[in-house]
Amino acid sequence: MLVSLQEVGVSFGAVTILKDVTAEVQENSRIGLIGANGAGKSTLLNTICGIQEYETGEISRKPSLNIGYLKQNSGLSGSNTIWDEMRSVFQPILEAQQEIERLHDRMANCEPNSEEYRMLSREYDRNLAYFEGNDGYLIDVKIKTVLNGMGFEDKDSQTVISTLSGGEKTRLALAKLLLSEPELLILDEPTNHLDFKTLQWLEDHLASYKGAIIVVSHDRYFLDKTVREIWEVEFQGLRVFPGNYTKYKELKAELMARWEKEYEAQQEEIADLNDFIAKNLTRASTSKMAKGRIKRLEHMELIDRPREYKKEISLRFDFNRDPVKEVLLVENLSLTVGEGTERKHLFDHLSFTIQRGEKIAVIGENGIGKSSLLHALRGELAPDCGKIRWGQEVKASYFDQENRQLHPELTVLEELWSRWPRKTETEIRNMLGRVLLQGEDVYKKVSVLSGGERAKLAFAILMMEHGNFLMLDEPTNHLDLRSKEILEDALREFKGTLLFVSHDRYLLKAVPDRIIEIFSDHVEVFNGNYDYYLEKQQEKAALQAAQPAVKQEKEEKVVSGYRTKQQKAEEAQRRARLRQVETRVEELEQEIAAIEESLQHPERFEGGYREMEEECERLDSLREELNQRMEEWLELGE
């Protein structure tokens, strides 16, 4: 067991945040921590880490427990390069490597049978055992693997961290934490700034992680893939559910239904007992029975009324008029954004048609131009070429992920009222109340709202616009788990046409009936939801893996276009070199192992000190070549 919490309570002044929290973190725990914003999730994590003091209860931690805690949006900074920052994780191992080299040089300058030589040899063996026991030879390979997995494969490893974007700094902080491999890994919203490819790599990496994991995430698909236990913080307490997020929803519904039933049954029993007492207490013949029922009431353990978090937004999108059947035609579209040195070409030959009532999701790599496509459809960006044709009677409403359509200087109430000046204040307030912007909140300026509050204000605008074609750009980014589910239900029930960009795989699973994936030079269309998309990707990967190399090359020709003889020759050379490198790595590992075994028995060296020194030099040379071949193997494999 790594951490045990027994009836822990935490307060800030007179305000109780957590009360009677009891839970355990085992060595292989996979925990998803959920709860409404402000429920106390961060307080609980800080308490587990020892950052936050607690007033009541007891917390036990494994002695010298190594905890790695990545707070939300906490990126790296400084003047280090990416590579140096990642290598700093392995500083003790690298220092051992330097010590090995220093001891080797000293051993070369003293008599083999001397006391000094034997002392240096023992120290050399100790450092070598530590270095090899901690996979010192694989440090660079580990770093490259994690950096590639976290989306830095195209980034120069000598890039200075301070020049990175905020999202890149956050991803790099996560990469560094993964390399450090703490016994307890705590991640607060780790999926922010990650694309599908990186998310899948992270899920696979965490699946084989040796330590325990606690993760806070609003990505329900991620929770389903990575956790085996859900901790829910609610009403100052903690409730533990076995299973992933989908299982939690099922168990929570069963719990609340059973709780409600038991509560109502007890209330009926209490009413019956009170009724009997009222009628029979004063009667001589039945007074004794009535007193018995009074004692029964006094000893009854009362069931609390079931409580659920009722502060939920209410969303419903409707419209007044149907458009024509073909609502949107996009044909041979090419798009470039930016000016001067910032100018960037996004994609070419983008074509698709949307029919009335379809629900379509747009996916693709970060930076491919998904948001820019929506801006082009709205007429905010001029395409390089191609055609955009809207159908008759289409009324499009747009949700911007940055909420740039809002006016920072206006209050919440003014934002809506300025758009619909003929509405009464009551009508405006009622709509804001549906998205939980109530009371004094309506007098807040838009500029001071949180991301979640701005998103809710934008949804209120969408509901009042009554558009029959909704275009949504990352609509779930700032929403809590329950609000995401409410939005999903509203979008599924929407009778109009929907085109949305999202990285929320749960949303992609629940809502669309078609997925469009954008590439730089074409699109691929999948007539199903995200599960269908994954199924087709897996089929494609399996087909490529099963086919011989010649057939695979033909398939690549169909997908990627004509391949020259030179390209084919280069590919054949790459595969041949990969086989050569793999063979050489095996030979080097065997030879290194043999020399290391010999060095454990100095008496084997008939030539004395000089022969042993030559073997040590040979060993260093082989290790250096092994590192080079491992790097080459990794590059060829990629």
How far, in Å, CA of 243 to CA of 257, rounded? 19
Name the 3-class secondary structure at 5.
strand
How, if at all, do strands 359-363 and 514-518 pair? parallel
pLDDT at 524 over 70: yes
Radius of gyration of the chain (CA): 32
**Which strand ranges, in their side-by-side order, compose the sheet holding 396-399?**
396-399, 469-473, 497-501, 359-363, 514-518, 523-526
pLDDT score recorded for residue 564: 56
What is the average per-residue pLDDT within 311-324?
A: 93
* Pairing relationship of beta strands 326-337 and 344-355 according to DSSP bridges: antiparallel
Confidence check: pLDDT of 243 > 80: yes
For 204-269, give the DSSP string.
HHHHT-SSEEEEE-S-HHHHHHH-SEEEEEETTEEEEEES-HHHHHHHHHHHHHHHHHHHHHHHHH
What residue type is assigned to position 228 of the chain?
R
Which residue pairs from 282-287 have beta carbons closer than 8 angstroms and sit at least 24 positions apart in sequence? none
The percentage of the chain sitting over the pLDDT mark of 90, rounded to a whole number, equals: 68
In this prediction, residue 468 carries a pLDDT of 97
CATH number listed for the domain at residues 326-538: 3.40.50.300
pLDDT per position as a tens digit, 460-505: 999 999 999 999 999 998 898 999 999 999 999 999 999 999 999 9
> What mean pLDDT comes out for the span 512-535?
92
| φ/ψ (deg, to 5) at 34 | -130, 165
Alpha carbon distance, N-terminus to C-terminus of the chain: 39
CA distances to 162, 222, 479, 636, 638 from 154, in Å: 18, 25, 32, 15, 12
Per residue in 326-361, pLDDT (tens digit) is 999 999 999 999 888 888 899 888 999 999 999 999
Average pLDDT over residues 300-306: 91
For residue 12, pLDDT beyond 80: yes
If phi > 0 it is left, if psi is from -120 to 50 it is alpha, else beta; for residue 10 that is beta
Give the up-direction half-sphere exposure of residue 300: CA atoms within 13 A in the CB hemisphere.
17
Q: Greatest CA span in the chain, whole angstroms?
A: 115
Could you tell me the sign of the dihedral formed by the alpha carbons of 96, 101, 106, 108, in that order?
positive
Length of the chain: 638
pLDDT of residue 491: 98
Which of 213-217, 292-296, 306-310, 488-492 shows the lowest per-residue confidence on average (mean pLDDT)?
A: 306-310
**Two structure tokens written together for 31:** 């925990």
The strand pairing partners of 331, in sequence order, are 387
H helix runs in 388-424, sequence order: 412-417
Averaged pLDDT of the chain: 89
pLDDT tens-digit map of 365-406: 888 899 999 999 999 999 999 999 999 999 999 999 888 899
